Structure 1
């Protein structure tokens, strides 16, 4: 959750007015503020590019290289509250590279679509196979691959998880080397890489329900919940992870290292009615049993929570971030949920998709 003042939550639950600001950062000339007619942002931690933007800017907004352009132009969106006393508090929602613009005539406004900085990195593919020498730090390599594509970017390491990387070659896809595939650096050490609301890159551990809740979603007077619906699905759910360092790059094979859901209260426990549903994870970057164990536990925690989900709409809270844990009170016992996806717009309630099945640290053999 983005840091906010003590005024934030009381105002959210009682008296405030939503407000938003669009700052255009053109490739030529100085940044300027553009008037927004409408906007919508989706932030999804399960997507390669976490943040996407749809915005309509006022007619007459400057275009071309010194204005709104798809030739290297960006839009910074900040959203927050007008406290009705002349003061405001805004939270960054994303630094978006503009990939499309469409001016409607006459006086229909300027429609723009943008994507977070992960897409900048993903588009910057390797021109030739990329080989890194043995014993490089995984975190150092992630930062190098990011800043090669975005030299001005800041990278925040919010984790101490790291490991030495064996000699490794990636063929074409830069983002796949960083995160999102079994052969990625991030997955090998159990972390996630994403761009925050200011376009700065962040490296964090995979969120779990052991993380403290940052917000309460509740009903009744002063509550924020509008509507909630539950769903259950076994798609993508695995209660056993088998991790192997395959030695494809010449290193000594590692494993198999097996992590199971052994929580006696878990509906997906391996000795329960859910049965056994293994996932096999193989990566040339796993060089020790300890590293395989960390990666397998992160995959297990990320998988089990998909079994039970809660989708809800609520009073918009622009400070929330995918991966945040929230405490949900809907009349029964309070429940912890990890937010996977948030949609925020100028026209209605905030919608969130979550998962809630509790996973322990697993049992290892």
Structure 2
């Protein structure tokens, strides 16, 4: 735990879980129960360290090796801004403090533009994105690509509008997704390319030493697209609108555009795209995020705290007729329990 005055305090957690969802605007959420054996941290009034007025929580999960009292190995699970705390007490022991917290994206979303905000013409999209983030977190660290995308006309945001939505829009225009990683850095990166992966990040194969304990499979076409059509309005340069498309062009795919599934496109308008090539790049990046979503797996396995959404895993289970590559779309990391849940999307090579 890091207080608003930057004092770090170790807070023992007795139960809890980090939930991570790639489709959520705020990717990471922490819920945990803690104890305060000394009573010094239990809040008495608003504004104290365990009330939601600036405190950040840093969650970890790790192992302690036998035979060595201080030999620990831990994995960070995220940096979270405290949003809710509650206290319960009975006659059996110390009060239990229930905490809820979210990653830094929620803090940016709540820090609305106080006045109309303008991104000037010819501003680099990555520079514009970082400037918005630094309005809330001046010392924020970044993990980003280099982008040549620039604005073709001023981008105007009304007072009271959501800065995180502006960040997500700028990231999408560069063919990326934006999220805060486990170290609290803002990552602005393209989705993993399954065509370029030499091997999956992790493998779940049935057998005597399998760490996969349970598997469920679902097929659903609700909200499932097999193509993306991006229209670039090219505002400000008086050029005609441009257009780019990306489709599931794999004849062996169940969502093949010319197969029985038909064409189900996702339309996107992007006023930073001013060439056909930029539209196609955006369309391909978005298609990589949605292709294969009609086929999902839900598995229960032993805990791997190092996952990030977008990681690629191989799953093989003969009786369920599962053998393929899947991307991690959502998962949980319990702070104490020994199993976790993963939601996986079938990973298909992009055209």
Aligned to 1:258: 245
- 2:186 is matched with 201
- 1:69 corresponds to 2:51: yes
2:177 counterpart of 1:192:
yes
2:83 to 83, 89, 99: 99
Distance 1:297 1:232 in 2: 23
Gaps of 5+ in 2: none
SS of residue paired to 1:300: helix
Equivalent residue for 1:166? 152
TM-score when scaled to structure 2?
0.89
**Equivalent position to 1:271, from 255, 258, 283:** 258
Structure 1 residue 226 displacement after superposition: 0.5
Distance across 2 between alignment mates of 1:84 and 1:138? 50
Greater CA drift, 243-252 or 147-156: 243-252
Report the counterpart of residue 90 of structure 1 in structure 2: 74
Relative to structure 1, the CA distance from residue 73 to residue 251 in structure 2 (aligned partners, 3 Å threshold; closer, same or farther) is farther
Structure 1 stretch 310-319 or stretch 259-268: which is displaced more? 259-268
Check whether the contact 2:152–2:235 (CA below 8 A) recurs between aligned residues: no
- Shift of residue 84, structure 1, vs aligned partner: 2.2
Moved more, 103-112 or 159-168: 159-168
Candidates 134, 142, 145, aligned match of 2:129: 142
Separation in 2, partners of 1:261, 1:337: 17
Match of 1:245 in 2: 232
Q: For residue 143 of structure 1, report the CA deviation from its aligned partner.
A: 1.4
Q: 1:108 to 1:263 in 2, by over 3 A?
A: same
1:231 to 206, 218, 221: 218
Counterpart-to-counterpart distance in 2, 1:156 and 1:206:
14
1:58 aligned onto 2:35: yes
| Structure 1 residues 66 and 127, CA gap change in structure 2 (3 angstroms) | closer
Total equivalences in the alignment: 333
Larger mean Cα displacement after TM superposition, 64-73 or 92-101: 64-73
**Is 1:297 the equivalent of 2:284?**
yes
Which residue number in structure 1 is paired with residue 294 of structure 2?
Answer: 307
Which ranges of 4 or more aligned residues in structure 1 deviate by more than 6 Å? none
C-alpha displacement of 1:28: 3.3
User: Normalized against structure 1, the TM-score is what?
Assistant: 0.86
Shift of 1:164: 1.5
Displacement of 1:253: 3.8
Partner Cα distance (1:165, 1:276) in 2:
31
Out of 324, 344, 357, the residue aligned to residue 333 of structure 2 is: 344
Say if 1:253 and 1:121 are closer, same or farther in 2 by CA, change over 3 A: farther
Aligned to 1:335: 324
Structure 2 CA distance, aligned partners of 1:258 and 1:33? 51
Cα deviation for residue 197 of structure 1 reads 1.1
| 8 A Cα contact 1:249 1:284, kept in partner | no
SS at match of 1:33: coil
Change (3 A) 1:63 1:151: farther
* Mapped contact 1:41–1:53 kept (Cα < 8 A): yes
| Residues 149 and 272 in structure 2, CA contact (< 8 A), matched pair in contact too | no
Offset of 1:251 from its aligned partner? Answer: 5.0
Displacement after TM superposition at 1:41 (Å): 0.6
Give the C-alpha shift of residue 348 in structure 1. Answer: 4.5
Correspondence for 1:21: none
- Say whether residues 1:116 and 2:94 are aligned partners: no
1:165-218 per-residue CA deviation (whole Å, 9 max, x = no partner) reads 222222311111111xxxx11111210111111211111102343344111122
